[in-house]
Amino acid sequence: MTPISNAFVRAEHASLSERFYPLKSFVCDHCWLVQLEDFETPETHFHADYVYFSSFSDSWLAHARTFAEKAAARLGLDARSRVVEVGSNDGYLLQYFVQRGIPCLGVDPAANCAKAAWELRRVPTEVAFFGSKSATRLREQGGTADLIIANNVLAHVPDINDFVAGFKILLGERGIATFEFPHVLEMIRNVEFDTIYHEHYSYLSLLALEPLFARHGLRVIDVERLSTHGGSLRLYVAHDDRTDVLDSVKQLRREEVQAGLDRLATYETFGHRVRQLKRSLLRLLIELIEAGKSVAAYGAPAKGNTLLNYCGIGRDFISFTADRNVHKQGLLLPGTRIPVLAPDEIARRRPDYVLILPWNLRQEIVQQISQIPDWTGHFIIPVPEPVILDSRGNSDND
């Protein structure tokens, strides 16, 4: 049982209780889609006070800029084109298309993100959940799209069939839709269990998605491997009359089968490794606390809240966490009630150890904190198994 991962608690509400929900994932032994057992309505997660803003990560902005440059060149996008991003957040990505003079539109259900997208980056954004109805409306209003982008949004959709149907409606005849998402194969390989939370309804693979796209008249024509979020995929999807399918699709399909994504035993072994990680991390923290060491955390990502709540790590282990997102500062982490402070608190309090919760950004975070003069503390990376790094990010075993 855990609270909603992004349901941060205001300090004045610290004495009030929170709602906890089951957090169990299951795999279908027919289509091999991994999904949560219970769904909360999307409105529970994506609302006017949504606190995740993509633009607070320098590495994510660099990733977005590179993709925009690559997509514009690959598809020949110009002032006559139309780009739509579903789950556009605060305009972190579409700003790079705007800068190139390429017409674009964001679609995002969080009104505060849409407001920031326009006010800060001049990215026009429709406040809506995407699906067949909204896709029909957008097509009637502005025509089809040459490129539709869905970065880390497909897993957030409870009605995945209606969502994909919207792409079929809005996509131009020769258009391309790109889907980025954490690869369930990497989640299993690297014990990235903390990427499981209520905001993520599905955990995805090519094996699970190819039949879904085919059901809606779409086809995967290319695949790219990405390092983001601990190992992600970018699928290039087109209408199913396209025959120019690249070898990358066949290669990934073969790799997923060889890795056992079509066998239940693979998922059972993953569960066993998760329980081992929990015990190892708790043993490490207990040893540090008993040795009189101070421990803080860095970051307030959704994955961190899964990790902390599942492992039972609260304020008796972690005194505070630091995050660059000003919208999270001053709040309390859901469930654990660990306070979220500004990053300069690391320099002021100088903890002996810093547990990096967004471990996928470890290099960026280590670089930031290592600039603190005379700080000789250590970092803890929890996944795929707890390891300790020195103040410059080197393994203590090196």
Query: What domain range includes position 378?
Result: 284-389
Query: Same domain, yes or no, for 98 and 34?
Result: yes
- Averaged pLDDT for residues 32-50: 65
Query: Same domain, yes or no, for 210 and 299?
Result: no
Q: Express as a percent the part of the chain with pLDDT over 70.
A: 94
Rounded to an integer, what distance in angstroms lies between the CA atom of residue 196 and that of residue 189? 14
Name the domain boundary from 212, 230, 265: 265
Residues 6+ apart with CB under 8 A from 62: none
| pLDDT tens per residue across span 291-328 | 999 999 999 999 999 999 999 999 999 999 999 999 99
Query: Same domain, yes or no, for 187 and 123?
Result: yes
Query: Same domain, yes or no, for 20 and 88?
Result: yes
Hey, is 34 helix, strand or coil? Answer: strand
Query: Same domain, yes or no, for 249 and 309?
Result: no
Name the domain boundary from 265, 293, 320: 265
Is 378 a domain residue? yes
**DSSP character at residue 269:** H
For the domain that residue 369 is a member of, what is the CATH number? Answer: 3.40.50.720
Is 96 a domain residue? yes
Residue 228 pLDDT level (bands cut at 50, 70, 90): confident
Query: Same domain, yes or no, for 71 and 120?
Result: yes
Residue 92 CA: distances (Å) to CA of 65, 74, 138, 251, 358 = 9, 20, 21, 32, 19
Tokens for 340? 């979220």
Query: Same domain, yes or no, for 105 and 155?
Result: yes
Name the domain boundary from 265, 299, 323: 265
Structural domain total, the chain = 2
Number of Cβ within 10 Å of residue 375's Cβ equals 15
Residue 1 pLDDT level (bands cut at 50, 70, 90): confident
Residue 71 CA: distances (Å) to CA of 29, 96, 123, 175, 328 = 36, 11, 18, 12, 32
Residue 53 pLDDT level (bands cut at 50, 70, 90): low
- Is the model's pLDDT at 132 over the cut of 70? yes
> Residue 28's closest CA among 243, 211, 166, 302?
211
For the domain that residue 193 is a member of, what is the CATH number? Answer: 3.40.50.150
Poorest-confidence range of 163-167, 172-176, 367-371? 367-371
Query: Same domain, yes or no, for 137 and 29?
Result: yes
Query: Same domain, yes or no, for 217 and 292?
Result: no
Q: Highest-confidence range of 149-158, 192-201, 330-339, by mean pLDDT?
A: 330-339
Is 394 a domain residue? no
Is 270 a domain residue? no
Is 332 a domain residue? yes
Cis peptide before 384 (omega within 30 of 0): yes
Which pTM does this prediction carry? 0.88
Alpha helices in the chain (DSSP H): 42-45, 58-75, 94-98, 111-121, 132-142, 160-170, 184-189, 206-215, 247-258, 264-290, 302-311, 344-349, 362-369
- Averaged pLDDT for residues 192-205: 94
Residue 55 pLDDT level (bands cut at 50, 70, 90): low
Q: Highest-confidence range of 11-15, 158-162, 259-263, by mean pLDDT?
A: 259-263
| pLDDT tens per residue across span 28-39 | 999 999 999 865
> Residue 262's closest CA among 24, 28, 68?
28
Query: Same domain, yes or no, for 161 and 238?
Result: yes
pLDDT at 378: 97
- Please compute, for residue 97, the number of CA atoms within 13 A of its CA located in the half-sphere on the CB side: 35
Query: Same domain, yes or no, for 185 and 257?
Result: yes
- Is the model's pLDDT at 96 over the cut of 70? yes
Query: Same domain, yes or no, for 69 and 153?
Result: yes
pLDDT at 396: 64
Is 302 a domain residue? yes
- Is the model's pLDDT at 398 over the cut of 70? no
